[in-house]
Amino acid sequence: MSGEIHLYDIIRRPVITEKSEMLTDEQNVYVFEVDMRANKPMIKEAVEEVFDVDVLRVRTAIMPAKMGRRLRTTYIRKKQWKKAYVTVAPGQSIDLFGV
């Protein structure tokens, strides 16, 4: 039970950038930051359950940690995180902000 991830814990936040907005407008693809332990079927199930849409495809990418330097020492400024590109069926959309 402790190793299991709840559906609402899989999707952390939507990623809102110029590139993600362009993907949403042109290809009906939405970008989310997801839990590192989540796999593609888990992400698909979570998006379908939370947003009530049909998911056609899920692609994932692990974004590398960002390193910093002070004098000769390096340190991690930002931890690595997982990003999911979710393709939604044509004619459907996800209302992220309720606007």
What ranges do the domains of the chain cover?
7-88
7-88, what's its fold? Alpha-Beta Plaits (3.30.70)
**CA distance linking residue 37 with residue 26, whole number of Å:** 29
Q: What is the pLDDT along the chain (99 residues), one digit of tens a residue?
A: 456 888 889 999 999 999 999 999 999 999 999 999 999 999 999 999 999 999 999 999 999 999 999 988 999 999 999 999 999 999 999 998 764
**CA distance linking residue 25 with residue 88, whole number of Å:** 12
68: nearest Cα among 78, 59, 81 = 78
**CA distance linking residue 39 with residue 56, whole number of Å:** 15
